[in-house]
């Protein structure tokens, strides 16, 4: 299936009969675009015109029906409607071509001036006839120097005949006319083939007749002849001459036959004639109705051959008369085929735009395609290098050298001039063109390859051309304007293809760079060791910047110098990691200036004056380093290091390379900073873990020895020291004695006192009350080369000293000091807590003893009051009652009986209240019958009094419970039942009593409204209701524990567990403190 060829919006199917098929379709269907407008557009495209106009007759005068293209001359206000070509065409009813319209007197002055302003060089007009009458005119204007040709006029007349039927008849009825056009006499390819065969037969016959070589030359365009047929066919068929040049050109120009007796001495002989070795020659033009259809040349090469005479020329003329018609058909067919091939070649290039590829492959495709487009023998593409030189990238054809071996200076050769001027540049002959500046080796290779004529067009707009496309021919010819225009059009398509390839190549390069950077980033992710990070950075440089043979990273030292931490490549055996970077070097300059610095060629640089830098210069050269690039490792505006890269070849270091390297450097800087932050964070984490562990020990244990031993171990870990020690102040003497230590190389410091003499480390800490550090210059008597001590301060007293010691010269840093100060603060907290705890223990023991004594006194007093009320007051009230009853039974006056009854009732109520009060203070049942009986009596009485359901469930209890345990258990149940009746609105209460192990468990549950235990506890702490706290405290003083569970709306249950044996003071104390 043929592919469509797109020409500026119009689609013409390619393949056999493409144009005629397009015309058939156009004329056979109704187009959505108005037919006059479409006709002018197609007409202009087919003739390669710059402007076309369709005028039709209306009311006896011409009217513009449609225009296409540039400025229409008729639109000029000075031009009348009847001025122009209408009159010329209408009078003759034939097509008209005007070569120079501005000088043609047949045109009106106004019309000529309008044409001159529009810079039109040639006009063509054809009539549109309807029933033998001119009904319209198609006019075309062009700015091409050669203008329209007779072939164009004939072609336009053919198109106009069928366009007339389309405009003035039915479009459907016009289809047969198109079929006639397409079917007569045969397809262009078939016609060309038949014409070629006929001419070849003619040439063979003539060659036999004249015993000579015969060539048939066909005009391929204005001013150019090409030898299409030769007999014998043993010479390059691509021979071309200009009209007026050589034997064929002179004959075409003179339009008459010619006899040349001795061709090598002929003044007008062309190089191609001489190269063919011709000695004698005749030539005859092929004329058809006065038009040149070709030229026949007959040459004899044998020096002994007979020269030609007039009779030979006359015979050639007679033989050539029928050949002229065939040559004309061949020329027409070739022109049609050439136009189709040109369109197809341009379309293939346009199609190539949609195909991705690298620049080199696209360049090769371009030079291969252009070989099929033009009659050339070689093609070459050169591209501009960063230094301005031109280097070949692709070639095709007969060129005896590789493309990359062709190097031209800026502006050199036709390619360099084309790039500088932005216009096509040609040379008719490499051998004789003095303006052609070519390097000698290139010129020699061109001559050796036989290339003579050159034509170059820039690839890209003026001033921004990326290179040039050069075509060559083995013959010294002049490329025609058509070939120039065609090569320019081809170059435009090639430029687009190259732009696409470059964009694709650039995108691919950036993708690979991004992948390399991403791989580097992934390689750096999770690596937190600074040396590992720097090592991976150095490893990734050659992948990102090919050609790099050495890479190194330098970071600053604390004293302000640079130190190489990782070195890779051939210099790694010379410059070791840890070495100092020489001041004034390239790397040092980057560190100071905070910007990229490079040397494109070390050999071109002058030798440094400083001896150390000069030595490094020679070391680099001996190691094969030619170029060097140093980039700052910057993050958040700070330079944290320098990345240096060495290359084995001179390198200009383009901005894109530097930007790519800087991107890597920025990532490296970020990775280095992250590693540093991670190391610092890791240190902080270890510090936090050590401090947290010490804090947990302080909170969980009051053993000061355990805490301080953890402090010295943590100090050794955080400061990475050889040892750590704590010395505490002796209250009696004020001296400091080591009590805690960790040092693998020391057995112990038991009993060793801190040296506090003048100038000693301990004395300096005591005097300054601040941390003090020593260095290697202050080696202690214990052999430590670096020490640090901080005071442990409680209040205004220095209660201890915390030491860290190093036997190596590594000094302690500010981070070490801050960590040690923090540990000293925790040591002070531990010591202060120990003191407070000892004081709190003593106070707690005293308070507990007082509380227990108060409860014992309270219970004793209640027992005494209960007995007094029961024994004394109760008996007295009973006696009073008996006396009153006795009086009542005696004959008392009626008026006294009521009084006596009232008094007896009053005494009963008092007696009942006294008994109840006695029971509330201390039920005698608790002492007489035991805890279970007392609880059953109490709960039953309270239930009867309140009218609720109550139940007491008891399990077997020991025979002899401790009085304190029984009393506490009863009081807890009593308080719980009272609260349930008073606040909970309960209707059911259950009391359970049982023994579990060595504990007595009592529980009181109700189905009341419940309450928020946390809120009640908070209010009790504020003094609103202390019953809950009092109950819990009473249980704790008895050596027990309690639990209250309550949910609003679901009731409350209280549990208490009391010891079955009398609690010891230590147990009671522990219970009071809440420590299990």
DSSP one-letter string for 481-494: HHHHHHHHHHHHHH
Identify whether the C-beta of residue 800 lies closer than 8 Å to the C-beta of residue 787.
Answer: no
Q: What is the mean pLDDT of residues 28-34?
A: 49
Query: Which pLDDT belongs to residue 31?
Result: 43
Residue scoring higher pLDDT (420 or 964): 420
Residue 469 phi/psi, 5-degree rounding, is -105, 120
Q: What is the mean pLDDT of residues 162-166?
A: 70
Which strands make up the sheet holding 51-58, listed edge to edge?
61-69, 51-58, 133-142, 122-130, 96-98
Binned at pLDDT 50, 70 and 90, residue 1054 comes out as: very high
* pLDDT tens-digit map of 448-507: 777 778 899 999 888 888 899 999 888 777 787 878 888 888 888 888 888 877 777 777
Sheet holding 627-635, edge to edge: 562-568, 548-556, 638-647, 627-635, 597-599
CB-side neighbour CA atoms (13 Å) of 395: 17
Helices (H) and strands (E) in the chain, counts: 29, 34
Which of 47-61, 295-309, 866-880, 976-990 has the weakest average pLDDT?
866-880
HSE toward the beta carbon, residue 153, CA cutoff 13 A: 16
pLDDT value of position 546: 79
**1065 pLDDT more than 70:** no
Q: Which helix (H) or strand (E) covers residue 413, if one does?
A: helix 413-421
The angle at the Cα of 162, spanning 161 to 165, to the nearest 5 degrees, equals: 100
pLDDT above 80 (res 252):
yes
DSSP letters spanning 516-585: HHHHHHHHHTT---HHHHHHHHHHHHHHHSTTEEEEEEEEE-TTS-EEEEEEESGGGGTS-TTPBPPTTS
Radius of gyration of the chain (CA): 60
Of 582-586, 673-677, 912-916, give the range with the top mean pLDDT.
Answer: 582-586
Q: Is 288 helix (H, G, I), strand (E, B) or coil?
A: strand
Q: How confident is the model at residue 317 (pLDDT cuts 50, 70, 90)?
A: confident
Higher pLDDT, 297 or 688: 297
Q: pLDDT tier at 789 (50, 70, 90 boundaries)?
A: very high
Please give the Cα distance from 369 to 374 (Å, whole number). 9
**Would you tell me how many other CB atoms lie within 10 Å of the CB of residue 410?**
13
Taking the C-alpha atoms of residue 773 and residue 752, their distance in angstroms, rounded to an integer, is 21
Domain 526-680 has CATH 3.30.450.40: yes
**Cα(1006)–Cα(821) distance, integer angstroms:** 58
Please give the pLDDT value at position 509.
67
How many Å apart are CA 621 and CA 627, to the nearest integer? 10
pLDDT of residue 177: 34
pLDDT of residue 712 exceeding 80, the answer is yes
H/E stretch holding 91 reads helix 86-92
Domain ranges of the chain: 4-183, 188-340, 353-508, 526-680, 684-843, 924-1073
Task: Give the pLDDT score at 1023.
Answer: 65
Q: Are 805 and 712 in contact (CB under 8 A)?
A: no
Decide if pLDDT at 993 tops 50. Answer: yes
Phi, psi of 292 (to 5 degrees): -75, 120
Angle at 1001 between CA 1000 and CA 1004, to 5 degrees: 145
Query: 500 versus 352: which is more confidently predicted?
Result: 500
Least reliable range by pLDDT among 218-222, 947-951, 1007-1011, 1022-1026: 1022-1026
The model's pTM is: 0.37
**β-sheet with 467-473: strand ranges across:** 407-408, 390-397, 378-384, 467-473, 453-459, 425-427
Q: Is the pLDDT of residue 1068 over 60?
A: no
User: Is residue 556's pLDDT more than 90?
Assistant: no
pLDDT tens digits for 359-395? 788 888 888 888 887 888 899 999 888 778 888 889 8
Structure tokens at 302: 């044998």
HEC-encoded secondary structure of 774-826 = CCHHHCCCCCCCEEEEEEEEECCEEEEEEEEEECCCCCCCHHHHHHHHHHHHH
User: Would 188-340 and 924-1073 be classified into the same CATH topology?
Assistant: no
Instruction: Give dist(CA 668, CA 642) in Å, integer.
Output: 10
Q: Of 257-261, 764-768, 902-906, 1006-1010, where does mean pLDDT reach its minimum?
A: 902-906
DSSP letter assigned to residue 433: -
The secondary structure element, H or E, covering residue 963 is helix 963-979
The answer to whether residues 460 and 424 touch, using CB atoms and an 8 Å cutoff, is no
User: What's the gap between Cα 43 and its chain centre?
Assistant: 52
Give dist(CA 472, CA 86) in Å, integer. Answer: 45
CATH architecture of 353-508: 2-Layer Sandwich (3.30)
Higher pLDDT, 1048 or 1020: 1048
If one compares 402 and 96, the residue with the highest pLDDT of the two is: 96
Give CB contacts under 8 A, 24+ apart, made by 761-765: 761/787, 761/789, 761/803, 762/727, 762/736, 762/789, 762/801, 765/789, 765/790, 765/791, 765/798, 765/801
**Domain 188-340 belongs in CATH node 3.40.50.1220:** no
Length of the chain: 1076
Would strands 949-954 and 988-996 be described as parallel, antiparallel, or unpaired? Answer: parallel
Give percent of the chain above pLDDT 70. Answer: 80
Task: Pick left, alpha or beta for residue 277 (phi over 0 → left; psi -120 to 50 → alpha; otherwise beta).
Answer: left
What is the CATH number assigned to the segment(s) 4-183? 3.30.450.40
CATH code of 924-1073, in short, is 3.30.565.10
Structure tokens at 255: 């339009």
Cα(1072)–Cα(1037) distance, integer angstroms: 6
Closest CA to 40 of 74, 90, 82: 74
Q: Say if residue 654's pLDDT is above 60.
A: yes
Task: Calculate mean pLDDT across residues 886-910.
Answer: 75
DSSP per-residue string spanning 344-376: HHHHHHHHHTTS---HHHHHHHHHHHHHHHSS-
Answer yes or no: is pLDDT of 781 > 80: no
Helix (H/G/I), strand (E/B), else coil: 1072: helix
Q: What's the CA gap between 196 and 218, in Å, rounded?
A: 11
Distances (CA, A) of 728 to 762, 786, 804, 837, 877: 12, 22, 15, 19, 74
Provide the phi-psi class of 783: left if phi over 0, else alpha when psi is between -120 and 50, else beta.
left
* pLDDT score of 643 more than 80: yes
Q: Rank 68-77, 116-125, 737-746 by mean pLDDT and report only the highest.
A: 116-125
Residues whose CB falls within 8 Å of the CB of residue 183, separated by 6 or more in sequence, listed in order: none
In whole angstroms, what is the distance from residue 755 CA to residue 773 CA?
15
Tokens of 648: 């084995």
Per-residue pLDDT of 177-205, as tens digits, reads 333 333 333 344 455 566 777 778 778 87
Among candidates 1050, 1057, 1066, 1006, which has minimal Cα distance to 1032?
1057
Nearest to 668 by CA among 811, 553, 762: 553
CATH numeric code, 684-843: 3.30.450.40
């Amino acid at each position: 299936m043929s592919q469509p060829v797109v020409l500026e919006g119009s689609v013409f199917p390619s393949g056999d009969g493409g144009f005629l098929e397009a015309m058939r379709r156009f004329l056979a269907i109704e187009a959505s675009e108005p037919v006059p407008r479409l006709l002018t557009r197609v007409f202009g495209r087919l003739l390669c015109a710059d402007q076309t106009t369709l005028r039709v007759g209306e009311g006896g005068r011409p009217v513009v029906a449609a225009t296409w293209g540039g400025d229409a001359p008729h639109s000029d206000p000075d031009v009348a409607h009847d001025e122009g070509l209408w009159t010329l065409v209408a009078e003759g009813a034939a097509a008209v071509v005007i070569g120079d319209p501005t000088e043609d007197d047949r045109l009106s002055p106004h019309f000529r001036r309008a044409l001159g302003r529009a810079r039109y060089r040639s006009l063509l007009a054809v009539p549109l006839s309807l029933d033998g009458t001119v009904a319209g005119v198609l006019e075309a204007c062009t700015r091409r120097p050669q203008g329209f040709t007779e072939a164009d006029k004939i072609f336009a007349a053919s198109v106009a005949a069928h366009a007339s039927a389309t405009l003035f008849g039915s479009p459907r009825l016009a289809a047969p006319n198109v079929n006639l056009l397409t079917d007569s006499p045969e397809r262009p390819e078939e016609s060309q083939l038949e014409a070629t065969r006929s001419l070849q037969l003619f040439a063979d016959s003539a060659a036999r007749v004249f015993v000579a070589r015969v060539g048939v030359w066909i005009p391929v365009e204005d001013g150019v002849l090409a030898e299409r047929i030769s007999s014998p066919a043993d010479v390059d068929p691509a021979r071309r001459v200009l009209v007026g040049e050589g034997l064929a050109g002179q004959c075409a120009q003179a339009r008459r036959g010619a006899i040349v007796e001795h061709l090598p001495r002929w003044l007008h002989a062309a190089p191609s004639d001489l190269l063919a070795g011709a000695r004698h020659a005749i030539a005859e033009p092929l004329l058809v109705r006065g038009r040149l259809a070709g030229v026949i040349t007959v040459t004899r090469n044998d020096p002994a051959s007979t020269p030609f005479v007039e009779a030979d020329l006359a015979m050639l003329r007679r033989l050539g008369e029928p050949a002229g018609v065939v040559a004309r058909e061949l020329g027409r067919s070739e022109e049609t085929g050439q136009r189709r091939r040109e369109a197809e070649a341009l379309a293939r290039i346009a199609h190539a735009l949609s195909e991705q590829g690298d620049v080199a492959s696209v360049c090769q495709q371009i030079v291969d395609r252009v070989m099929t487009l033009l009659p050339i023998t070689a093609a070459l593409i050169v591209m501009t290098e960063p230094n301005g030189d031109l280097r070949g990238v692709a070639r095709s054809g007969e060129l005896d050298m590789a493309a990359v071996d062709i190097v031209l200076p800026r502006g050199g050769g036709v390619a360099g001039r084309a790039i500088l001027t932005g216009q096509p540049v040609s040379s008719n002959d490499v051998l004789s063109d003095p303006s052609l500046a070519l390097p000698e080796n290139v010129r020699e290779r061109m001559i050796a390859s036989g290339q003579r004529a050159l034509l170059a067009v820039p690839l890209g707009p003026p001033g921004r051309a990326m290179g040039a496309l050069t075509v060559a021919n083995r013959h010294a010819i002049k490329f025609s304007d058509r070939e120039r225009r065609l090569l320019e059009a081809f170059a435009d398509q090639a430029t687009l293809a190259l732009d696409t390839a470059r964009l694709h190549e650039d995108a691919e390069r950036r993708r690979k760079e991004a992948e390399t950077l991403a791989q580097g980033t992934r390689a750096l992710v999770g690596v937190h060791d600074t040396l590992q990070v720097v090592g991976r950075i150095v490893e990734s440089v050659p992948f990102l910047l090919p050609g790099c043979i050495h890479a190194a990273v330098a970071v600053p030292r604390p004293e302000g110098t640079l130190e190489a931490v990782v070195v890779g490549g051939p210099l790694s055996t010379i410059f070791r990691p840890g070495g100092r970077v020489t001041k004034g070097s390239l790397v040092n300059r980057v560190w100071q200036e905070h910007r990229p610095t490079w040397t494109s060629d070390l050999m071109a640089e002058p030798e440094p004056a400083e001896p150390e830098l000069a030595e490094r210069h020679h070391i680099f050269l001996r190691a094969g380093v030619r170029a060097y690039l140093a980039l700052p490792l910057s993050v958040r505006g700070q330079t944290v290091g320098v990345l240096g890269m060495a290359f084995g070849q001179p390198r200009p270091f383009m901005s894109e390379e530097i930007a790519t390297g800087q991107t890597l450097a920025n990532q490296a800087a970020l990775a280095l900073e992250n590693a540093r932050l991670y190391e610092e964070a890791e240190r902080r984490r270890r510090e936090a873990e050590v401090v947290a562990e010490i804090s947990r020990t302080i909170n969980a244990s009051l053993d000061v020895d355990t805490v301080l031993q953890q402090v010295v171990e943590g100090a050794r870990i955080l400061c990475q020291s050889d040892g750590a020690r704590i010395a505490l102040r002796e209250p009696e003497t004020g001296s400091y004695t080591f009590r805690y230590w960790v040092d693998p190389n020391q057995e112990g410091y038991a009993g060793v006192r801190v040296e506090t003499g003048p100038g000693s480390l301990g004395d300096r800490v005591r005097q300054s009350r601040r941390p003090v550090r020593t260095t290697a210059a202050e080696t202690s008597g214990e052999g430590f080369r670096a020490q640090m001590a901080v005071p442990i301060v409680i209040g205004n007293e220095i209660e201890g000293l915390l030491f860290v010691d190093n036997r190596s010269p590594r000094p302690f840093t500010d981070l070490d000091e801050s960590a040690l100060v923090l540990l000293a603060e925790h040591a002070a907290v531990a010591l202060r807590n120990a003191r407070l705890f000892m004081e709190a223990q003593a106070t707690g023991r005293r308070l507990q003893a007082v509380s227990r004594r108060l409860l014992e006194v309270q219970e004793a007093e209640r027992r005494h009051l209960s007995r007094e009320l029961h024994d004394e007051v109760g008996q007295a009230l009973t006696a009073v009652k008996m006396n009153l009853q006795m009086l009542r039974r005696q004959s008392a006056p009626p008026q006294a009986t009521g009084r006596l009854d009232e008094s007896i009732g009053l005494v009963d109520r008092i007696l009942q209240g006294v008994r109840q009060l006695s029971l509330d203070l201390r039920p005698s049942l608790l002492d007489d019958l035991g805890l279970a009986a007392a609880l059953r009596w109490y709960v039953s009485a309270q239930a009867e009094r309140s009218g609720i359901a109550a139940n007491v469930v008891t399990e077997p209890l020991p025979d002899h419970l401790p009085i304190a345990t029984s009393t506490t258990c009863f009081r807890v149940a009593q308080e719980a039942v009272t609260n349930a009746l008073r606040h909970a609105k309960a209707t059911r209460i259950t009391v359970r009593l049982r023994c579990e192990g060595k504990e007595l468990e009592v529980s009181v549950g109700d189905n009341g409204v419940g309450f928020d235990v946390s809120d009640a506890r908070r209010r009790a702490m504020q003094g609103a209701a202390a019953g809950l706290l009092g109950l819990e405290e009473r249980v704790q003083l008895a050596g027990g524990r309690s639990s209250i569970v309550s949910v609003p709306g679901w009731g409350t249950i209280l549990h208490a567990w009391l010891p079955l044996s009398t609690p010891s003071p230590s147990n009671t104390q522990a219970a009071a403190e809440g420590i299990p």
